[in-house]
Amino acid sequence: MEQMKRINTIMTTKAPITLRPLRGEDIPLFSQWLDKDYIYKRLCPDGEQHREAWLNEVCNKDGKYDFLTHFIVYYGDKKIGYCLHADCFFTKKRGTTSRVYMERCPSRTIPTRSAT
């Protein structure tokens, strides 16, 4: 998990695309993004209850979501998006995979390790 906290950069021909961990100062922007109709429809299908859950998760005040790492995506110096990394193996051990991750990404499957 620690390696995910470092800044990751992909170089493009015009400006670098960088992932930086979401910080407290990014919460108001994240909240504004949640208010955009096309984002709200995807991330908050149950309305305000989901919106508040997202905000609680990115704030992570009680450490409940330590297995998730939230990033802000930069194009050069401009904040252009959001990225989430979920430690699926950790969530599987805790028995929270279906509740936490799959509710957010119902069209995705969680990779599992084969028993060898």
In 10 A of CB 89, how many CB atoms? Answer: 14
Mean pLDDT of 15-31: 93
* Residue spans of alpha helices (H) in the chain: 27-35, 37-43, 48-59, 88-94, 103-104
CB 4 within 8 A of CB 56: no
CB 91 within 8 A of CB 100: yes
Mean pLDDT of 52-70: 90
**pLDDT confidence of residue 94:** 55
Which pLDDT band holds residue 86 (cuts at 50, 70, 90)?
confident
Which pLDDT band holds residue 63 (cuts at 50, 70, 90)?
confident
Lowest mean pLDDT among 15-19, 20-24, 34-38, 69-73: 15-19
**pLDDT confidence of residue 92:** 60
CB 18 within 8 A of CB 8: yes
Tokens representing 29? 């922007």
CB 73 within 8 A of CB 17: yes
Mean per-residue pLDDT of the chain: 76
The phi, psi pair for 48, rounded to 5°, reads: -65, -30
